[in-house]
Structure 1
Amino acid sequence: MTAESHDLLSVRTPEQIVKSLQADRTPRNIRACLPPADREYFDRDYRRAMAKATEELDLAPVNALLAHWWHMARMKATGEYEAVLERGARIQEQIERGEYVPGRPLREVLAERASVLGVELDL
């Protein structure tokens, strides 16, 4: 029996998944906390980040990837992910109707995030 098939047999509540993610931020646990449909994407992204880290002798890409997938696992377990998608769809509909949508410009948000990561963006 593989580890993945064992994970599928042990269904956990959202609370159990969040608690697990808080206690253990290892790649193995983050992957186990993701819905099965997302694990292939996690594997692909993780392998790419590890290859890049090996080439550049820099773990920053791996750490950034793990932070991203940790948040995804948490959001998907708690239903926050679907809420974000629904909000995005409502905003897109408002934009398409020509309505004003309050918020910050995307360029500003991306520039702020890039500066936190120490990355330069050509916007």
Structure 2
Amino acid sequence: MAAPHHDPAHQLVPAAEPEALRAALPPPLREEFDSEWESVLEDAKKSHTLVDIHALLNKWQHTAAMEFRDPGSYQRMLDKAARILEQGGNPHGGTLEDMLAHIERRRRAL
């Protein structure tokens, strides 16, 4: 029997479970996760749905993986978003039309 294939990149992604995510996050982000977790739990009690819990776990799973690959990237993303909002746009970004054209070119290349 062949040994199972282990993808090293997959090990960078923690399980979408609160305990695993907390363990993978640096302390400042862990505090933010805890705050959001408490809020979404309260909302789930009232709405009787798990949709927001799943969305939160998905968001933080991606954030934890991003932070593992590039520590500090989450804060840099927030800082960039704040600058874009302050400036009323991204001077280094393309237009929506450019992005749609780029997507179409990639679709045709498939």
So what's the TM-score if we normalise by structure 1? 0.53
Q: Cα gap change, 1:83/1:42 in structure 2, threshold over 3 Å: closer, same or farther?
A: closer
Following superposition, the deviation at residue 36 of structure 1 comes to 1.6
Please tell me whether the aligned partners of residues 46 and 65 of structure 1 are also in contact (alpha carbons under 8 angstroms): yes
The amino acid across from 2:13 in the alignment is L
Following superposition, the deviation at residue 20 of structure 1 comes to 6.0
Match of 1:42 in 2: 33
Q: Cα gap change, 1:56/1:103 in structure 2, threshold over 3 Å: closer, same or farther?
A: same
Please tell me whether the aligned partners of residues 72 and 81 of structure 1 are also in contact (alpha carbons under 8 angstroms): no
Following superposition, the deviation at residue 103 of structure 1 comes to 2.5
Q: Percent identity?
A: 24
Q: Which has the higher contact order (CA 8 A, sep 6+)?
A: 2
Deviations 1:69-96 (A, max 9, x none): 111111111007529937x75xx59xx6
1:15-30 matches, within 5 Å, as 19=11, 21-22=13-14, 24-30=15-21
What CA RMSD, in Å, does the superposition of the two structures yield over aligned residues? 3.5
Query: Which consecutive unaligned segments of at least 5 residues does structure 2 have?
Result: 1-7, 97-110
Please tell me whether the aligned partners of residues 31 and 42 of structure 1 are also in contact (alpha carbons under 8 angstroms): yes
So what's the TM-score if we normalise by structure 2? 0.58
Match of 1:70 in 2: 61
The amino acid across from 1:21 in the alignment is V
Following superposition, the deviation at residue 65 of structure 1 comes to 0.7
**Distance in 2 separating the partners of 1:83 and 1:59:** 25
Query: Which consecutive unaligned segments of at least 5 residues does structure 1 have?
Result: 1-14, 106-123
Runs in 1 of length 4+ with deviation above 3 angstroms? 99-102
Please tell me whether the aligned partners of residues 21 and 30 of structure 1 are also in contact (alpha carbons under 8 angstroms): no
Please tell me whether the aligned partners of residues 12 and 68 of structure 2 are also in contact (alpha carbons under 8 angstroms): no
Q: Cα gap change, 1:33/1:47 in structure 2, threshold over 3 Å: closer, same or farther?
A: same
